[in-house]
Copies of this chain bind each other. A is one copy, B any other.
Amino acid sequence: MAPPDIEATPCCAPLAEARIPAEASGTLAQAFKALGDPIRLQLMSMIASAPDGEICVCDLTPAFTISSTTISHHLKVLREAGLVDAERRASWVYYRPRPGLMRRLSTLLAVDEPATR
């Protein structure tokens, strides 16, 4: 399944400012669901903070005590949600973040700092 081209859709103001359009909620919920697992959140974090802007699956797998098959499944969920891109080079797959969607989710959850009263 191709990752959703969510960056092509003009969406969305912060949740605290305006109600999210129902038609946008499916794709955005898919991205949040992808982040809704501790292993996937840690994988996303390793990919997003990779010093070279990308990271080899061979450097992701040893960080966990679960099987490489399970890791691959989690990476596929992140990719299908549109949060990461994957590229095969020689024997390994390399992952990099798709910052556009992360930024969009971040904006959606933005809340003003409380005013001093």
- The stretch from A1-9, A21-29, A85-93 touching chain B is A21-29
Within 8 A of B (CB), among A31-85: 31-42, 44-46, 48-49
Cross-chain contact of A38 among B25, B34, B49 (Cβ < 8 A): B25
- How many residues from A make CB contacts under 8 Å with B? 43
> What's the Cα separation between A36 and B36 when bound, in Å?
7
- Whether B109 and A16, one on each chain, are in contact in the complex, defined by CB atoms closer than 8 angstroms, is no
Any B CB within 8 A of the CB of A114: yes
Report the separation of the CA atoms of residues A110 and B45 in the bound assembly, to the nearest whole angstrom: 12
Count this chain's copies in the assembly. 2
Chain B contacts for A105, CB-based, 8 A: 109
Closest Cβ of chain B to A50, distance in Å, is 9
- Residues of chain B lying within 8 A (CB to CB) of residue A36: 29-36
Q: Which of B22, B33, B109 contacts A106 (CB 8 A)?
A: B109
Is A15 a contact partner of B44 (Cβ separation < 8 A)? yes
Known: A25-B38, A36-B34, A109-B109. A18 touches B103 (CB 8 A): no
The 6 closest A-B pairs by CB, nearest first: A33-B36, A106-B109, A32-B35, A25-B38, A20-B45, A32-B36
